Structure 1
Amino acid sequence: MLLYMSNSRPSTRSTPLHSVSVAGAVVREDGRVLVIRRADNGTWEPPGGVLEVDESPEAGVAREVWEETGIRVEVEQLSGVYKNMKRGVVALVFRCSPAGGSETLSDESTAVEWLTADEVSQRMSEAYAVRVLDALREDGPHVRNHDGVRLVAA
């Protein structure tokens, strides 16, 4: 059970905990974006995972992309913040450029591919496709909420 602390006065209730994750929208010069098919549930997503306590968000996204895809990246900029309202997961998504390595499967990925924006929209649920599509735009960073599949109002 999650209990909330009131902003108006002190309370003995605790503040709910959130998990912070990072993901990389890795964009090649031809505009294609690096994605994985997750081993645990078969969904297509940008590579990423839980941010470790002792690492910066930029270091975390570089580590996660490398571990899941075999691609080294240069982290360019924050492109969006996305909150799963059902699970309390906050994801920081960074636009990145490839800086070496080659596509390699991992324990966490059953496929690693470079997709066009149209292919991203076709293969990914709205909650994950928007992360990639937002990174391709230049008007961010974006802040969005979702339920794990679809975007929801704030």
Structure 2
Amino acid sequence: MPTPQHSVSAAGIVLDASGTRILLIHRRDNGRWEPPGGVLELGETIEDAVIREVEEETGAQVEVERLTGVYKNMRQGIVALVFRCRLLSDPVSQTDEARNVAWMEIDDVPSLMKPAYAARVLDALGDDVHVRAHDGVDLLPDSAISPIHRAHG
């Protein structure tokens, strides 16, 4: 029996200086608001993928700070690694992949995104690393487990 294949993606959560707004893209391919991210390329480190995807989709340069969550789309076999990033340069208003690049209020995230994607943003606001499963739209009930607490010190 062949081993199941998974796709691995990486996304960057970029907050403004006040910590009240997040940098999001309005994707050209599916029309959804999401954090910038995409599939890792062969030979590319995870951190390099985050930096590349954020720049391709927003025009902004970032520095990867820390892992905030691991999310598996159970329907499509996609594992997404989500990282908090620090903004190094200003974004542009649109790119080849994003019809709109904008700073959006964090309070608006639940109404802008499907729950599976809103969780990535909201999970990144705290200090814990979350591990969740979803169906592409909603979190699966058993994925609302306690977050993994990071060691401090």
Structure 2, unmatched stretches of 5+, are 144-153
State the partner residue of 1:118.
107
Amino acid at match of 2:137: V
The Cα shift of 1:101 comes to 3.4
Q: Check whether the contact 2:91–2:101 (CA below 8 A) recurs between aligned residues.
A: no
| Structure 2 partner of 1:54 | 43
For residue 83 of structure 2, the aligned residue among 94, 99, 103 is 94
Structure 1 residues 99-125: Cα deviation after superposition (integer angstroms, max 9, x where no partner): 013324112111111112211111011
Shift of 1:21: 0.2
Normalising by structure 2, what TM-score? 0.89
- Secondary structure of the residue aligned to 2:61 is strand
Unpaired runs of 5+ residues, structure 1, are 1-12
Rounded to whole Å, the distance in 1 between the matches of 2:15 and 2:46 is 18
1:4-153 matches, cutoff 5 A: 13-31=1-19, 32-138=21-127, 140-152=128-140, 153=142
| Residues 12, 37 of structure 2: 8 Å contact kept | yes
Shift of 1:24: 0.3
Q: Which residue of 2 aligns with 1:5?
A: none
Please provide the CA RMSD for this pair. 1.0
Aligned residues of 2:93 and 2:102 also touching (Cα < 8 A): no
Number of residue pairs matched by the alignment: 141
TM-score by length of 1: 0.88
**AA in 2 matched with 1:49:** G
Q: Name the aligned partner's letter for residue 138 of structure 2.
A: R
Partner Cα distance (2:62, 2:10) in 1: 14
| Secondary structure at the counterpart of residue 81 of structure 2 | strand
Identity over aligned residues, as a percent?
56
AA aligned to 2:50 is V
